């Protein structure tokens, strides 16, 4: 997976590649799809949601530019896979999911895969996680109609927010840095994510 789908494309950050090599993705897909765990695709995880394609997880993690000591918020826990990859790259990880059943399953997946230190929360992540803010970086695995202001405000100065922004079905993955002049958009690439629901979502 790492060589063919990530290195073979444009993922170059060696820490991210190593992290994706370590996290056992089969722990995060439903039992009947285990043989497809390393496919180059998003896969259904129940409740109408998906575990993201490995390539998009790598792109998001690379864009977060983590070096090790960071406190990160992962919005849209889903299966917990992306939170596990982030846990390989940062010190402390909080993740929030709006569907309680998914959060419960993600907690079990993370525990089984050896990432029990990731804190899984249930709630509307479009509003961030005020009680745990500020964060050095925030990753959003669902598409927002516009830059979620509250998430931006929960960043440390120079903190990074990586979020798909656009309409349902077609977005751009934006990399935003908190700066004294306001949100600085570093770059963006086309992508396609399930919608971020909730107060600052769709």
Q: Near ligand SAH by CB under 6 A, which window of 8-16, 33-41, 71-79, 162-170?
A: 71-79
Question: Smallest distance, Å, CB 12 to ligand SAH?
Answer: 21
Number of amino acids touching ligand SAH (CB under 6 A): 25
CB nearest ligand SAH: which residue? 78
Would you list the DSSP string of 150-166?
HHHHTEEEEEEEEEEEE
**Residue choice 5, 53, 65, 79 for contact with ligand SAH (CB under 6 A):** 79
How far, in Å, are 13, 40, 42, 148 from residue 53 at the CA level?
A: 18, 6, 4, 23
Q: Are 163 and 140 in contact (CB under 8 A)?
A: yes
- The upper half-sphere exposure of residue 10, i.e. CA atoms within 13 Å in the direction of its Cβ, equals 5
Which candidate, 150, 153, 174, 154, places its Cα nearest to that of 162? 174
Q: Near ligand SAH by CB under 6 A, which window of 9-17, 159-167, 175-183, 194-202?
A: 194-202
> Is 188 labeled as catalytic in the residue annotation?
no
Cα diameter, the chain: 49
Query: Interface residues for ligand SAH in 48-67 (CB under 6 A)?
Result: 49-52
Consecutive H or E run containing 173: strand 170-177
Question: Smallest distance, Å, CB 99 to ligand SAH?
Answer: 5
Could you list the residues that contact ligand SAH (CB under 6 A)?
A: 49-52, 75-76, 78-79, 81-82, 96-99, 102, 124-126, 141-142, 194, 196-198, 201
Catalytic residues: 52
């Amino acid at each position: 997976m790492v060589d063919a789908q990530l290195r073979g494309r444009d993922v170059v950050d060696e820490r991210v590649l190593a992290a994706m090599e370590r996290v056992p993705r089969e722990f995060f897909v439903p039992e009947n799809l285990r043989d497809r765990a390393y496919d180059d695709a998003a896969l259904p995880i129940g409740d109408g949601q998906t575990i993201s394609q490995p390539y998009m997880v790598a792109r998001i993690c690379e864009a977060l530019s983590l070096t090790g000591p960071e406190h990160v918020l992962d919005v849209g826990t889903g299966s917990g896979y992306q939170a596990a990859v982030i846990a390989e790259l940062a010190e402390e990880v909080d993740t929030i999911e709006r569907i309680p059943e998914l959060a419960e399953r993600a907690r079990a997946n993370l525990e089984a895969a050896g990432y029990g230190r990731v804190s899984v929360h249930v709630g509307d992540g479009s509003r961030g996680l005020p009680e745990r803010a500020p964060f050095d970086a925030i990753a959003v695995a669902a598409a927002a109609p516009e830059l979620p202001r509250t998430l931006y405000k929960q960043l440390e100065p120079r903190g990074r927010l990586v979020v798909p922004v656009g309409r349902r079905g077609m977005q751009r993955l934006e990399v935003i840095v908190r700066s004294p002049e306001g949100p600085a958009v570093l770059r963006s690439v086309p992508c396609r994510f399930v919608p971020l629901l909730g107060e600052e979502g769709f």
